[in-house]
Amino acid sequence: MADAVAASTEGTAEAESSRAFRTLVRDRRFRLLWMSQFVSGVGDWLVVGFLIPLVTNLSGGSAFAVAGIWIAKIVPSLLFTGVVGALVDRFDRRRLMIACDLVRACLALLLFTNNLAIIYLVVMLMETASLFFNPARNAYIPSLIEPELVAPANGLAYTTQQASLLIGLTASGAILAGFEAIVRWILNSGFPFVAQLVGPIAPELLGPRAGIILDALTFLFSAACIFLILQDCAPGRQGKLSLKMIGLDVIESFRFLRSHRELRGFITAVSLAILGGGSIVALGPVYVAQNLTGEIPFINRLPALERLFATPVVFMLVFAAAGMVAGGLLVTRFERRIR
């Protein structure tokens, strides 16, 4: 009897989850926000997939130089997370997201350099902009949908974020090949004006740094999607912005955490998880490059997978991202049981 009740409850939960997903994707405003997150997320990790071989070549094969890319992505979170929430709450979330996308598009174009220091700095600045974009998006979602859809929407947003990481890292070669095919078609299209317009920058569009241009285009696409939502989200707090007010907001947030035991425990657990995951991301490439020098099992039997998992580092990151995607798919289901 108990098994039948459990099976019935599980079936009901799955039906509700499926119904919530269909409702979300039918909503034009949420669909635009979802598309913007996915495309810009793919671009964000796509450029990392191109930066790894670039930094490897520039540094003479230094594993620590490659790890510097990941460290540059982690440092902003360690430095600015406590301040970002207070700042995001003072601005219109939609306009802030558009501004972040435009800033990231401009910063991406600065990666046309052979200077490792500049590459690391640009990656840090892009990640800082992402720190503002993500909480603004999370705060914007409830203004677009019904309250009962917020939890499924957050689960879908998390899954989309990890899926974009997986696709951006593993499909960089296929995406670049498709982009080059489009550029060559434009050059050979027979339209002189178009050929003259694209011709001067064709070497970059067809070269190894084409991923940088693709990255900038994804952020522009994301900004356009958010612009088309046509629904602003008023700041959570009013008042003149100043360093004193930001400091007071940060202090207030810590006081709030101190007075809420459950939330404090949750934040502590998440922080430790991020610290552990960040350590793997930053130091994993060094460990893999220095210790895992053998062949990847079974990969040589499938040429497509052999090209996909070009290096042991990518192999490691693909499975890490796949685990995060699987976790995101289970979030909504377990959320109902825990609640």
What pLDDT, in 10s, does the model give residues 76-107?
A: 877 777 677 777 877 888 899 999 999 999 99
Closest CA to 330 of 17, 105, 3: 17
Q: How far apart are CA 285 and CA 28, in angstroms?
A: 40
What does the alpha-carbon distance between residue 42 and residue 223 come to, in Å, rounded to a whole number?
14
Q: One-letter amino acid identity for 40?
A: S
Instruction: Residue 164: name the closest of 328, 25, 6 by CA.
Output: 328
Report the distance separating Cα 253 and Cα 208, nearest Å. Answer: 45
Among 48-62, 132-146, 202-216, 310-324, the least confident range: 310-324
Phi, psi of 91 (to 5 degrees): -125, 160
Least reliable range by pLDDT among 53-57, 75-79, 252-256, 303-307: 303-307
Centroid of chain to Cα 201: 28
- Please tell me the total count of domains within the chain: 1
pLDDT at 312: 59
For residues 315 and 295, is the Cβ–Cβ distance under 8 A? Answer: no
d(CA 206, CA 180) in angstroms, rounded, equals 6
Q: What is the rounded average pLDDT for all residues in the chain?
A: 74
Sequence-distant (6+) residues with CB within 8 A of 91 are 136, 235
Tokens 């995607």 identify what position?
A: 325
Residue 70, domain extent: 2-338
Q: Could you tell me if 101 and 41 are in contact, meaning their C-beta atoms sit under 8 angstroms apart?
A: no
CA dist 120 and 115 (Å) reads 9
| DSSP secondary structure code for residue 296 in this structure | P
pLDDT band at 315 (very low <50, low <70, confident <90, very high): low
Give residue-wise pLDDT tens across range 218-271: 999 999 999 998 776 655 555 565 566 666 666 766 676 677 777 777 677 766
- Which is nearest to 162 in space by CA: 317, 276, 325? 325
- For the domain that residue 97 is a member of, what is the CATH number? 1.20.1250.20
Query: For residues 189 and 195, is the Cβ–Cβ distance under 8 A?
Result: yes
Q: Decide: helix, strand or coil at residue 287.
A: helix
Share of the chain above pLDDT 90, in %: 11
Q: Is the pTM of this model over 0.75?
A: no
Lowest mean pLDDT among 29-43, 108-122, 198-212, 229-243: 229-243
Out of 11-25, 34-48, 88-102, least confident range? 11-25
Residue 287 to residues 141, 197, 225, 291: CA-CA distances in angstroms? 39, 45, 40, 6
**Residues in CB range of 186: below 8 A, 6 or more apart:** 194, 195, 198
Q: What is the pLDDT of residue 6?
A: 45
CA distance 53 to 167: 17
Nearest-5° Cα angle at 290, 286 to 293:
125
SS3 of 236, please? coil
pLDDT (average), residues 286-311: 56
Instruction: Return the ∠ at Cα 82 (arms to 79 and 88), rounded to 5°.
Output: 110
Measured CA to CA, the distance from residue 21 to residue 122 in angstroms comes to: 36
**Closest among 316, 276, 33 to 169, alpha carbons compared:** 316
* Concatenated DSSP letters of 55-81: HHHHTTS-HHHHHHHHHHHHHHHHHHH
Percent of the chain at pLDDT > 70 equals 61
